[in-house]
Structure 1
Amino acid sequence: MPHPNAELIRDLYAALDRGDAEAMAARYAPDASFEDPVFRGLRGPEVPGMWRMLTARASEMSVVVDEIEADDAGGSAHWVATYPFTRTGRTVVNDVRARFRFRDGLIVEHVDRFDLGRWGAQAFGPPGRLLALPPVAALLRRQVRGDLAAFLARG
């Protein structure tokens, strides 16, 4: 029988596949943190806010998760999201490795890792590989932080 935290991970990605940000939000502790190559240092309400923003923008997203491992303290998973990037309409297949920490049956830390240059090339075409360069990545991070702040301010 799978560990309850393995089911928590599976449920998180099933909710993402459905575009159900509220079900995703329910799986995070109120003081949770999130980080990936684009969103750095998200805390508390920013975490579910990010998923609400991303699912509101996403159309036709498909998420497949495998290699789920979990125990009482932590876990990991491999997941792949396929979706049309909103700004360009180009198809993105984002291959992600996730790491989690848990407390009281909820996610308290979620760290995703993926190749930002590869993602950028899929989203924007060959020039998108420049997103892997630190100054360009920093500009992207500032922009998405601003997008998230505006989204959260709309309530």
Structure 2
Amino acid sequence: MIHTTHNILLKFYDSFSKLDAKSMSECYHPDATFSDPAFGELNREEVCAMWKMLIERSKGNLTIEFSDLKSSKKSGKAKWIATYYFSKTNRKVINEINAKFKFQDGLIIKHTDSFSLWKWSGMALGLKGYLLGWTPFMQNKIREQAKDSLNKYLAK
């Protein structure tokens, strides 16, 4: 049986692959939360702004592939790959992500993306990221910069 939650996941990733942040945000519940290794914990307003910011900064240079969408009435999961050039270094990143979802009222109430921040830092930052990306210091610095850029974007 295909739940309406499956259609929400399809809409979310289809919109993402079309770089349509507005349609992505329609998939989130008003009380939604998001977390990932780079941005940490975000509320609905922050996560919607994060997708919009990342799409805008990619300047159309972002491709999204998604697979293994699975969902029930209350939960779901997906695999997706983001391929882009990191804006600060112009280095190519191919980030493989596992997503988990919780649903409420047919919308995403909790979205958790997981990926290797060390692997990401090696691609995005080069040798320095590869050598230091596993350290708590470097990972905290990456989180700090991601959150800082989001806060500046929200302040605009």
TM-score bracket for this pair, using the shorter chain length: over 0.9
2:147 alignment partner, SS class: helix
| Letter aligned with residue 18 of structure 1 | K
Spell out, residue by residue over 1:71-113, the C-alpha distance to the aligned partner (whole angstroms, 9 max, x if none). 1100000111111111122111100000000011111100001
Q: Tell me by how many angstroms 1:2 deviates.
A: 2.9
Shift of 1:123: 1.0
> 1:55 corresponds to which residue?
55
Question: 2:102, 2:27 → 1: CA distance?
Answer: 12
Instruction: Give the total of aligned pairs.
Output: 154
- SS at the partner of 2:98? strand
In structure 2, what is the Cα distance between the partners aligned to 1:69 and 1:26?
19
Q: Distance in 1 between matches of 2:53 and 2:68?
A: 27
Instruction: Give the aligned partner of residue 107 of structure 1.
Output: 108
- Counterpart CA distance in 2 for 1:121 and 1:140 is 12
Q: 1:3, 1:70 within 8 Å by CA — same for their partners in 2? A: yes
Q: Gapped runs of 5+ residues in structure 2? A: none
Identity %: 36
**How many angstroms does 1:132 deviate by?**
2.4
Does structure 2 conserve the Cα–Cα contact (< 8 Å) formed by 1:82 and 1:94?
yes
1:94 match: 95
One-letter code of the match for 1:45? E
2:133 aligned to 131, 134, 140, which one?
131
3-state SS of the aligned residue for 2:40? coil
State the TM-score, normalized to the length of structure 2. Answer: 0.93
CA distance in 2, matches of 1:60, 1:4: 31
Equivalent-residue separation in structure 2 for 1:92 and 1:76 (angstroms): 22
Structure 1's unaligned 5+ residue stretches are none
* Contact map agreement 1:10 1:65 (CA 8 A) in 2: no
Match of 2:36 in 1: 36
Q: Deviating runs (4+, > 3 A) in structure 1?
A: none
Determine the structure 2 residue equivalent to 1:152.
154
- AA aligned opposite 2:147: R
Moved more, 126-135 or 87-96: 126-135
